[in-house]
Amino acid sequence: MSVVLVTVLTALVIAPCRDDAQTVPPPQAIVDSNTVPRISTEQLKGLLETATAIVIDVRTPESFAAGHIVGAINVPLPDVESRARELRDLARGKAVVAYCSCPDEHASIAAGVILIRQGVPGVSALVGGYPAWVKGGGKTGK
């Protein structure tokens, strides 16, 4: 019974991220979601207008190619840890905002936890991810 319950709960957690399901770590690997601050689409628009943020798309390269936030860098979740130093150097004091396609920011929070553990300051996750950005009229590119 408990195996079935765990399987169902895991499916419910990952299912909303179907696009990112192959890259989302199991729920127990994600540190408390409060570890990574969230940022709204409006806040991100302001940071981008003032060039005070770098944006990291943690989705698959295929999803990135289909559409992404203008100026975003594609760093699929499995590559975040190995590229943390590069991202820290690229940020140089700017905010670092990660996003995915998950309505609850699962993959972007996982990326944020990795980056914070690797010493990258100013990391946050975009609330609602790419779908919220598009819905909010944010600039997108292909």
Catalytically annotated residues? 102
Half-sphere exposure of 61 (CA within 13 A, CB side): 2
Kindly provide the b/e burial profile for residues 70-92, where b requires at least 16 CB atoms within 10 angstroms of the residue's own CB. eebbebbbeebeebbeebbeebe
CB 125 within 8 A of CB 39: yes
Q: Is 60 exposed, middle or buried (0-12, 13-18, 19+ CB in 10 A)?
A: buried
CB 76 within 8 A of CB 61: yes
**What gap in Å lies between CA 42 and CA 32, rounded to an integer?**
25
